[in-house]
Structure 1
Amino acid sequence: MILRSVIKLCTLSILSFCLAQPAMALVARAQFANDVVDREPINDIGDTIKVMYGEIQRVYFFTDLRDMSGHTILHRWLLDGVIQAELPFDIGGDRWRVWSSKKLMPGFDGQWTVEVVDDGLVIESRSFNYVDDFDS
C-alpha cells in the first residue's frame, strides 16, 4: 500500500514537472528552394547548385518554425564561413513560416550556409555548394 502511494506520488511529480516546462522551440522544416509560393517552397534543390553563366540565380531558404511566438530569429547567410547577410524575422504565432533569399552570381562559388539563430544561438543550419565547373 505504501509502495503504491510512493509510486503515485512520484508519477504525479514527474508529470507535473513535465507539464510545467515550456514547449521546445522547433524548426520543423528547413530547406533550399528555387521559389516560395503560397508560403511553401516549390521544391528542394539539394546540396549542390551549379553556376549558370549569364544568369543570376536566386536561392530561397525556407523555415517552418513551431512554438516560437514572440521571438525574433535571424537567417544568417554565410559564404565559406564569412557572414554575407543577416535577416531578422519577428515570429507572430505558434506556427510561423519564413524565408529569405540570396542572388548568386558567378564568382560567388563556395559553400553557402544559412543558420537559423534565436537569441544568439544557432538552432538549425543547412548548407549547399555553389559549384563553378566551367573549367571541368
Structure 2
Amino acid sequence: MPKRKFLLLLLLMLSTLSWAANEGRIARSWFTTAIEDREPVDRVVVLDNSHDTLYFFTDVRHMEGHSITHSWEYNGQVISKKTFEIKGPRWRVYSKKELDPSMTGKWSVVIRDERGWPLTVAIFEYVDKAEGGKSMILPLSE
C-alpha cells in the first residue's frame, strides 16, 4: 500500500510539473519584510514576533490569462487567501499578512493555480523573541 501512495504522489507531482513546463512557471517566490519597486528587499527564513507584518513575493512567468492564489497557512490551517490574475508574460505579485505575535510556529504559503493545483510552497518559522528566538533575514545579492 505505501508503494501505491508513493506512485500516486509521484504521478501528481509529474503532472503538475508538466503543466507548469507547458504553461509557465513560478520563477521566484519567498517571504520578505518589505516590497520596493515591486521587488522584495530581503528573504525571511525565521522571523521573531517583534515583527508583525510580512509579505510573500512571487515572480510569475508565461502564465498570462491564468490566475494564482497565495494561501497563507498556520499549522496546516488556511488563515487567508489572495488571488491574482496574471496579465503579462512576466508578472510580479505579493500578498501581505499582519501576524499575531502569539501565533508562533510554522507558517507557509502555498501557491495554487486556478484549478487548485499546488505550484510551489514556502515555509518560515515565526519565533518568540521573549524566549530567545531570533530572526534570520537574508540580504538579496545584486
The TM-score range, normalised by the shorter chain, is 0.7 to 0.9
Taking the aligned partners of 1:48 and 1:60, their CA distance within structure 2 comes to: 13
CA deviations over 1:62-86 (Å, ceiling 9, x no partner): 0000111011110000001000001
Shift of residue 132 of structure 1? 1.1
Root mean square deviation, CA, Å: 1.4
Equivalent position to 2:47, from 46, 49, 70: 49
Greater RCO, 1 or 2 (C-alpha within 8 Å, sep 6+): 2
> In the alignment, which residue of structure 2 is the partner of 1:73?
68
Classify the secondary structure of the residue corresponding to 1:44: strand
> In the alignment, which residue of structure 1 is the partner of 2:30?
31
Of residues 82-91 and 125-134 in structure 1, the stretch that sits farther from structure 2 once superposed is 125-134
Taking the aligned partners of 2:23 and 2:64, their CA distance within structure 1 comes to: 11
Superposition misfits of 4+ residues, deviation over 4 angstroms = none
Aligned residues: 111
TM-score (norm. length: structure 2): 0.73
Q: Does residue 107 of the first structure (1) align with residue 92 of the second (2)?
A: no
Taking the aligned partners of 2:129 and 2:88, their CA distance within structure 1 comes to: 43
1:52-63 alignment runs, 5 A limit:
52=50, 57-63=52-58
Q: Does residue 87 of the first structure (1) align with residue 86 of the second (2)?
A: no
Classify the secondary structure of the residue corresponding to 1:70: coil
The amino acid across from 2:125 in the alignment is N
Classify the secondary structure of the residue corresponding to 2:28: strand
Q: Does residue 122 of the first structure (1) align with residue 118 of the second (2)?
A: yes
TM-score (norm. length: structure 1): 0.77
Q: CA contact under 8 A between 2:61 and 2:90: conserved in structure 1? A: yes
Q: CA contact under 8 A between 2:52 and 2:101: conserved in structure 1? A: no
Taking the aligned partners of 1:38 and 1:24, their CA distance within structure 2 comes to: 26
Equivalent position to 2:128, from 124, 132, 136: 132
The structure with the largest alpha-carbon Rg is 1
Query: For structure 1, which runs of at least 5 residues remain unmatched after alignment?
Result: 1-21
Shift of residue 60 of structure 1? 0.4
